[in-house]
Chains A and B, each alone.
Chain A
Amino acid sequence: MGKSSWYRLALIGAIVIVLLNTWLAARALNTLLLAQYWEAHTLQVISQTETLVAQVRTAESAARGYILTGHDGFQKQYAVATHQIHESTTNLQRLTGDNTSQQVRITMLSTRIGAKLAALDAGLAVRRVQPQGALDPALLGPVIQDTPDRMDSVQLTIHDIEAEEEGLLASRTADATSARRWVWGSFTLAFLLDFLLLVAAFELLVRADRAREKITANSAVIEGLNRQLTAANEELESRVQQRTRELEASNQELESFSYSVSHDLRAPLRTIDGFSLALQEDFADKLDAQGEDYISRVRNGVQRMGTLIDSLLQLSRVTRSDVQRELVDLSHLATLVFRELQTGDPEREINWVAQPGVIAEADPRLMRIAFENLIGNAWKFTARTPNATVMFGSGPQNGKTVYFLRDTGAGFDMNYVDRLFTAFQRLHGEREFTGSGIGLATVSRIIRRHHGSIWAEGEPGKGATFFFTLTA
């Protein structure tokens, strides 16, 4: 489970706990309020009951006063008291509407109060008939005698009512106390929990802040590194540009050098050859056989130097030119080169065998130069082999296509194979075969420009085979 899922779970838990706690506290508070209401209600019932007792007493003493003295003031007092008793009874009945046993008691109380008031009323009636003088005790007997007794029965009933209410009060006070405890408990719990949650939230905030600070610090570091990288890149870029400029300059130099070689070195050779020829032609009558031989040697030397310059130029041009690959029919190209050689030297009889349809992705101009050198080599080294064969083909080797050119000519000693592709290294003397020693170096460079490789196998007197690939 991921860190954020844990946080979400903790948040939901905290919310549930707070809600539960709030509900508990609210319920406890509600219970407390209810208990307090009932407590107050009980107290009110008790107070109302006591008021009623006092009013009954008031009515009784007013009735007695009138009966004894016949003063009208007592009669009025009595009327007020009976009215109040009536009101109090109704009130009490309303207050104890929830309590059936109390209702029964109050009904009984009301009956007893009614009986008492009826006895008092009878006494009052006697006095009204005889306003002055002492009354006949026989007439007042039932009033006087009955009165304390009746009062007692009222007293008893009221006592019962009060006892009941006292009991209720005790239980309701206990309820209120326990509710108060509950309220305190739940509020304390809520406070503690909220406090804990607050602490936890604060801790999380601090942690988040620290993480943010760390990120800010890290991003500053990253920014610094980025700046360094950009600076390094820029420096590298400028260095590359400088190197490119230098390379371009050196290429330019090489190009103008080649141009000069092509023009300036050949010019004096042409002069030497031209005047040698002029000597030969214009002064033929003054030259003997030895003179003729010298002149032809001069011209041969010039010729070789010309070939050498041309080969060097070709080598440098191969190095400078871009490799532009396209699909080339190598079989066709090799055959064309062979036919050109054949045309230049129709006397020679060589069997040309080319595997048809060998197609490769290569630079056609460079490949022509490579074939001119390779097939030219084969042509040269088969000069002393009767019925020679030159063969071109291809085959797979280690997942690559390998092309080969084989001849049945003079061949070479495998001990010197390393020197084969180096410029100016020759395995045959000038006496045997003429050559510049640059041809195979040029071929090797062309193959390398194609990211391929070249190697050779040979045996003196049996022939040589040149293998090459055109991919890395």
Chain B
Amino acid sequence: MILLVEDDPDHEALAIRALRKANVANEIQVAHDGAEALEYLKKAASGAKMLPQLILLDLKLPKVDGLEVLRNIRAADKTALLPVVVLTSSDEEKDIVSSYRLGVNSYIRKPVNFTDFAEATRQLGMYWLLLNQCPPLQ
């Protein structure tokens, strides 16, 4: 299961399309802002929902921003080890540095060119869902 945290519905549709195109068959759960993402993860931690295998996180989000979501993920025992990939338009150095300081697993800047984005999404799915050995879920 993949948790996609994305507020722009266009980008949500395009991301899902790119993942499907890349043959990623996993269920995709979408959170439309930071608060929703935290709400979902809280439920998942208590066992009411499924814990995601991968979190794709935008940084610029309404209500609670991406960095704050990341901080909460890393602070909670149940979600501390989840692989989180930041997917954002920003290539500001402070965003990159803050994300890595908070323990992000990967930082990818969304290219304008969608062909490149599709390729990046394909590689992401391949790497994090197939190649990479994730820590066991608690």
In the complex, what residues of A have CB within 8 A of residue B110's CB?
266, 270
In the complex, residue of chain B having the shortest beta-carbon distance to the beta carbon of A309: B112
Cross-chain contact B10 with A275 (CB below 8 angstroms): yes
The verdict on B115 contacting chain A, using a C-beta distance below 8 Å, is yes
**Interface residue ranges of B79-123 to A (CB < 8 Å):** 88-92, 110-115, 117-118
What's the Cα separation between A302 and B115 when bound, in Å? 13
The verdict on A29 contacting chain B, using a C-beta distance below 8 Å, is no
Q: Can you spell out 22 A-B residue pairs with CB atoms less than 8 angstroms apart?
A: A258-B92, A263-B60, A263-B90, A267-B8, A267-B89, A270-B14, A270-B89, A270-B111, A271-B10, A271-B11, A274-B10, A274-B11, A275-B10, A276-B114, A277-B114, A277-B115, A277-B118, A303-B113, A305-B112, A306-B111, A306-B112, A306-B113
The 3 closest A-B pairs by CB, nearest first: A306-B112, A274-B14, A271-B10
Q: Which of B8, B113, B114, B117 has the most CB of A within 10 A?
A: B114
**Interface residue ranges of B59-82 to A (CB < 8 Å):** 60
Q: Which of A259, A263, A305 has the most CB of B within 10 A?
A: A263
The smallest C-beta distance from A170 to any residue of chain B, in angstroms, reads 125
In the complex, what residues of A have CB within 8 A of residue B117's CB?
270, 274
What's the Cα separation between A313 and B88 when bound, in Å? 16
The interface bits of chain A over 298-330 (1 if a CB of B lies within 8 angstroms of the residue's CB, else 0) are 010011011000000100000000000000000
What's the Cα separation between A343 and B50 when bound, in Å? 44
The verdict on B17 contacting chain A, using a C-beta distance below 8 Å, is yes
The verdict on A249 contacting chain B, using a C-beta distance below 8 Å, is no
The smallest C-beta distance from B86 to any residue of chain A, in angstroms, reads 13
The size bracket of the interface on B is: 20 to 34
Cross-chain contact A278 with B112 (CB below 8 angstroms): no
In the complex, what residues of A have CB within 8 A of residue B14's CB?
270-271, 274-275, 278
**Interface residue ranges of A415-448 to B (CB < 8 Å):** none
What's the Cα separation between A266 and B10 when bound, in Å? 13
In the complex, what residues of B have CB within 8 A of residue A263's CB?
60, 88-90
Tell me if A's interface is mostly helix, strand, loop or mixed. Answer: helix
What's the Cα separation between A13 and B5 when bound, in Å? 104
If A259-B92, A266-B89, A270-B110 are given as contacts, then 10 extra A-B residue pairs at C-beta distance below 8 Å, sorted by A number, are A262-B92, A266-B112, A270-B14, A270-B112, A271-B8, A273-B113, A277-B115, A302-B113, A303-B113, A305-B112
The interface bits of chain B over 1-26 (1 if a CB of A lies within 8 angstroms of the residue's CB, else 0) are 00000001011001001000100000
What's the Cα separation between A273 and B11 when bound, in Å? 11
The verdict on A269 contacting chain B, using a C-beta distance below 8 Å, is yes
What's the Cα separation between A281 and B89 when bound, in Å? 24
What's the Cα separation between A258 and B92 when bound, in Å? 9
* B112 interface neighbour in A258, A281, A303, A313, Cβ under 8 Å: A303
In the complex, what residues of A have CB within 8 A of residue B21's CB?
281
In the complex, what residues of B have CB within 8 A of residue A303's CB?
112-113
In the complex, what residues of B have CB within 8 A of residue A276's CB?
114
In the complex, what residues of A have CB within 8 A of residue B90's CB?
259, 262-263
What's the Cα separation between A454 and B88 when bound, in Å? 36
In the complex, residue of chain A having the shortest beta-carbon distance to the beta carbon of B14: A274
In the complex, what residues of B have CB within 8 A of residue A306's CB?
111-113
The smallest C-beta distance from A276 to any residue of chain B, in angstroms, reads 7
Given A278-B14, A278-B17, A270:B114 Cβ within 8 A: yes
What's the Cα separation between A258 and B89 when bound, in Å? 12
What's the Cα separation between A305 and B112 when bound, in Å? 9
The smallest C-beta distance from B87 to any residue of chain A, in angstroms, reads 11
**Interface residue ranges of A98-142 to B (CB < 8 Å):** none
In the complex, what residues of B have CB within 8 A of residue A275's CB?
10, 14
In the complex, what residues of A have CB within 8 A of residue B112's CB?
266, 269-270, 273, 302-303, 305-306
What's the Cα separation between A259 and B59 when bound, in Å? 12
What's the Cα separation between A52 and B108 when bound, in Å? 152
In the complex, what residues of B have CB within 8 A of residue A273's CB?
112-114
Q: Which of B60, B112, B113, B115 has the most CB of A within 10 A?
A: B112
In the complex, what residues of A have CB within 8 A of residue B60's CB?
263
What's the Cα separation between A299 and B114 when bound, in Å? 9
What's the Cα separation between A60 and B112 when bound, in Å? 169
* B91 interface neighbour in A262, A267, A269, Cβ under 8 Å: A262
What's the Cα separation between A275 and B14 when bound, in Å? 7
Given A277-B115, A278-B17, A306-B112, A270:B11 Cβ within 8 A: yes
The smallest C-beta distance from A315 to any residue of chain B, in angstroms, reads 14
What's the Cα separation between A363 and B106 when bound, in Å? 27
The smallest C-beta distance from B108 to any residue of chain A, in angstroms, reads 13
The smallest C-beta distance from A68 to any residue of chain B, in angstroms, reads 160
The smallest C-beta distance from B116 to any residue of chain A, in angstroms, reads 9
What's the Cα separation between A313 and B92 when bound, in Å? 10
In the complex, what residues of A have CB within 8 A of residue B88's CB?
263
What's the Cα separation between A369 and B114 when bound, in Å? 25
The smallest C-beta distance from B75 to any residue of chain A, in angstroms, reads 25
In the complex, residue of chain A having the shortest beta-carbon distance to the beta carbon of B88: A263
What's the Cα separation between A275 and B17 when bound, in Å? 10
What's the Cα separation between A277 and B88 when bound, in Å? 20
What's the Cα separation between A176 and B131 when bound, in Å? 141
The smallest C-beta distance from A117 to any residue of chain B, in angstroms, reads 147
In the complex, what residues of B have CB within 8 A of residue A266's CB?
89, 110, 112
In the complex, what residues of A have CB within 8 A of residue B10's CB?
271, 274-275
